Amino acid sequence: MKRIAVLTSGGDCSGMNAAVRAVVRAGLASEVEVIGIQKGFQGLIDRLYEIMSTKSVSNILQRGGTFLQSARCAEMKTEAGLQLASENLKGMGVEGLIVIGGDGSLNGGYAIHRKGIPVIGIPASIDNDIPFTDMSLGVDTALNNIVSAVDNLKDTASSHDRAFVVETMGRNCGYLAVVATIAAGAEYSLIPEEPYDLEKICADLRRRYREGRSNSIIMVAEGAGKAQDIADQIKDRIGFETRVIVLGHYQRGGSPTVFDRLLAARFGQAAVENLLKGNYGKMVGLQASNIILTGLEKIVSSDHREIDPMLALLAKQLSI
**Annotated catalytic sites, by residue?**
127
Helices marked H in 161-225: 175-184, 198-210
- In terms of Cβ atoms closer than 10 Å to its own Cβ (0-12, 13-18, 19+), residue 91 is exposed
Provide Rg for the chain, Cα atoms.
22
Contacts 24+ apart (CB under 8 A), 279-283: 279/120, 280/96, 280/113, 280/118, 280/119, 280/120, 281/110, 281/113, 281/118, 281/119, 282/120, 282/121, 283/106, 283/120, 283/121, 283/122, 283/123, 283/130, 283/132, 283/133
Q: At a CB cut-off of 8 Å and minimum separation 6, what does 310 contact?
A: none
